[in-house]
Chain A
Amino acid sequence: MGKKILIVDDSATILMSMRGMLERAGHAVSDAASGEAAVTVLQGGLRPDLVITDFHMGAMNGIDLVREVRKMANLRFIPVLMVTTESQQAKRMEAKAAGATGWLVKPVQPEALLQVIKQVVPGA
């Protein structure tokens, strides 16, 4: 069943690639090119079933975004996946502590991404 998914990445290539994979699987996709833009749309009323965010972005990185999302009462428990080139375990643990749901290393293939979404989003 299709879900509402917000993708956050400062790379237009990643946004388009992820959108193609997710829409093909029947999900409704919104995107934001920075952490700040993501916070804006979430505060504007967007209620996604899942947030997928990059780690290295501009002023607000992916972990900062996770912290912001967790502050929003109605989004406190939605899954947030980090999709990034970063591979250090310490960063992963930092993301986990901030409240991230999972960590995927780029490039992400469709099967892996959709499998993870099924695991973390109820009814996906």
Chain B
Amino acid sequence: MTAMPALETSANPAVGFFVRAALALAGTAIVTALVGLAIRMPAGHVVSLVAAEAAGMVAGCAVSRGKPRLSEPKLAWETGASRVPHHIGDIEQGRCSVPYGPGVDAVAREPFDPIAAKRIDDLSAKARVVTRELGHYKELLGILRDQIANVNVETEGAALDILTRLNEIDRLIQDMIAFLNHAGMSDKMVDLMDRTEARLTANRRLLDEFRASRDDAAVASQARLGEVQEMVAELNRVVGQVRTISKQTNMLAFNAAIEASRAGQFGKGFAVVASEVKQLSRDSDQAALDIQGGILRLQKAINVSMDTIVHKRLEAERKGFEAIADSMSELTEDLERIMGHQRNVLVKIQEASEMIAHPIMALIGSIQFQDITRQELQHVSRGIEFVEGHSGQLREVLEDAGKDHDPGSTQAAITELMAHYVMSQQRNIHSAAIGNGELEEKGSLVQLF
């Protein structure tokens, strides 16, 4: 796990602004600290020395470490040509190359110099300006401190608002995932799909059974038609027998007619009978022929019906059933495709929801940056409070130059500031700002004892 870039102080605009402001104020405080050094010198010369420093002049070590008389407004170091100029910082740290000695007193007693006096007046006026400006620092720094406090209040309010919304979004996503898991995906969808498939299978089975029953019926019809044809053939045989009988009857009538003619007068009546019998056999034969013709037409009609009703219709039915079966198979496949597609869509939605839920939870954790920023700003405020108090103390020194003052050490404040940090990056930024490149390791983010 890595720290968020946004948590780095240098990357935080609000913290950066206040840090820059504090550093600017600290820079001013350093200037005033230089002024503060003057209080180590005898009262009355304070303003003059401060003004001289502010004007870019240098102080002679002998003079600064010595005790020039208050009544003599002279700049001894200006007339001491043999002395090496030194900056006040060097004087403070005892690095003066021209030690205090008898020659200093001789310089201090040199005659009045009007040019130097004029310069002291000018510098005194500048020092008064600095004193007046220092008076405004309390107000300025108070404003900055209040602004920082307001930033903390506002960012905390915003962070809580963001957290509330993120938690709500997370809850909605969890509800949706639960819905997809339980209502949409698992039970109902599978159950619906299973039931639909079962219905389609049952329908296909019914269709197959119906088609089989129709095939059986066709076979039965064909068998019955075969029986009818056999009966027709039997009838044809009967007709043939009738015709045979007719022919024999006709032959018998012919013979009877011959015998009647032989009998002469006595056979005339019998000849009439024989003639009638002959006519009857002819009529019988003709009737048998008519019956045979009718049977043949009937047989032909049955064959046509057999072909039409049984074969063609059954073929049409078979094709119809196949078409229905094919449609039902396609319907099943389409339904499965739809179900599969719907399942994929739901799975995608579920995966996407979980992918969204993960960064939302990470965001909920990352909002903790507000607490980190709050603490960083509180430390900046602590620095501002020091500058505020210190500037007031320096102003008192300048205004009340005759008394002893201890405005406190800026260096001590910097050290104290360092001691109150809680984050390694705070200490590292501090170290870098004061020119100490030694960086502190962040240490492990998680440590179990």
Contact = CB atoms under 8 A, between A and B. Distances in A.
B446 A110 contact: no
B371 A14 contact: yes
A112 B369 CA distance: 16
Given A84-B422, A85-B375, A109-B362, A13 B448 contact: no
A17 B364 contact: yes
B445 A86 contact: no
Contact of A110 (B364, B370, B440, B448): B364
Given A17-B367, A107-B369, A109-B365, A116 B423 contact: no
B265 to A, nearest CB: 139
Contacts, number: 114
Contact of A13 (B167, B174, B371): B371
A87 interface: yes
Contact of A11 (B361, B365, B371, B446): B371
A92 B449 CA distance: 9
A14 B364 CA distance: 10
B442 interface: yes
A16 interface: yes
Contact of B443 (A87, A108, A116): A87
Contact of A96 (B361, B442, B449): B449
B7 interface: yes
Interface of B, helix, strand, loop or mixed by DSSP: helix
B167 A20 contact: yes
Nearest to B448: A102
Interface string A108-124: 11111100100110000
Interface string B139-168: 000000000000000001001100110110
Nearest to B164: A16
Contacts of B371: 9, 11, 13-14, 85, 106
A97 to B, nearest CB: 9
A100 B449 contact: yes
Given A102-B449, A103-B449, A108-B365, A20 B372 contact: no
A103 B447 contact: yes
Interface residues of A, number: 38
Contacts of B364: 17, 20-21, 110
A12 interface: yes
A30 interface: no
Q: Among the interface residues A13, A20, A86, A108, which one has the most CB atoms of the partner chain B within 10 A? A: A13
Given A96-B449, A105-B443, A17 B422 contact: no
A104 interface: yes
A102 B444 CA distance: 11
A17 B368 contact: yes
Top 7 A-B residue pairs of the complex, sorted by shortest distance between their CB atoms? A107-B368, A11-B371, A102-B448, A96-B449, A13-B159, A86-B422, A103-B447
20 contacts: A17-B365, A17-B368, A20-B167, A20-B170, A21-B361, A24-B174, A56-B375, A87-B443, A88-B424, A88-B443, A92-B443, A92-B447, A101-B449, A106-B368, A106-B371, A107-B367, A108-B445, A109-B1, A112-B1, A112-B445
Interface of B: 1, 3-4, 7, 156, 159-160, 163-164, 166-167, 170, 174, 361-362, 364-372, 374-375, 422-424, 440, 442-449
